[in-house]
Structure 1
């Protein structure tokens, strides 16, 4: 996916989060392990959000591979340590298709 398409999907995801009571803390946090697309809070819980887009839900969600999830978890750990955080947190995904934007809670289960 091109960076422009990725940015558009992330913009849609941020709008969706904002409309659903989340507060965006940071976008595109990088560590040596990878990137977290969006970091947000809601109800005193920190959410590390992976944004995936595709023509349909299935093609987008399949791009969250075990390797991608592992990098996401390690990057989240770096963020927590770097910011000396001791808070509740979870890893979520937002699936962006031409028809819909959908939040998938707690993708690590």
Structure 2
């Protein structure tokens, strides 16, 4: 991975964390890794746990950031979330998958529940 892409991803993750905190989410875990894949952020809001994928692009030349989250990626997130819950039992909480899409050239941050 190029240094530019790594810095882009790091910038996106910082923006996403700020967005979540500003919107009353409690961040439980960052960059959770398992044999099934990585979950960028695991957060809680009210009675819900969110497993969040962050996609950041500098512009939409190759499409919107959220368009990069395909069925295969969603499947990996679901499996990694199941593994997280196996290791960290959480009771009486709703579970949700979400994407934070960040496009830097237009200062756009969008939150999508899947």
Distance in 2 (alpha carbons) for counterparts of 1:44 and 1:85: 11
Structure 1 segments (4+ residues) deviating >6 Å:
none
User: Does residue 6 in structure 1 map to residue 9 in structure 2?
Assistant: yes
Q: Secondary structure at the match of 1:53?
A: strand
Corresponding residue for residue 98 of structure 2? 92
Distance in 2 (alpha carbons) for counterparts of 1:83 and 1:6: 27
TM-score by length of 1: 0.90
Question: Following TM superposition, by how much is the alpha carbon of 1:3 offset from its aligned partner in structure 2, in angstroms?
Answer: 1.9
Corresponding residue for residue 40 of structure 2? 37
Q: Deviations over 1:44-68 (max 9, x none)?
A: 2101010011213x42111101111
Query: In structure 1, which of residues 4, 26, 49 is the aligned counterpart of residue 29 of structure 2?
Result: 26
* Structural mapping, 1:16-95, within 5 Å: 16-54=19-57, 55-56=59-60, 58-86=63-91, 87-95=93-101
Distance in 2 (alpha carbons) for counterparts of 1:62 and 1:97: 12
Distance in 2 (alpha carbons) for counterparts of 1:17 and 1:59: 20
Question: Following TM superposition, by how much is the alpha carbon of 1:85 offset from its aligned partner in structure 2, in angstroms?
Answer: 2.2
TM-score by length of 2: 0.86
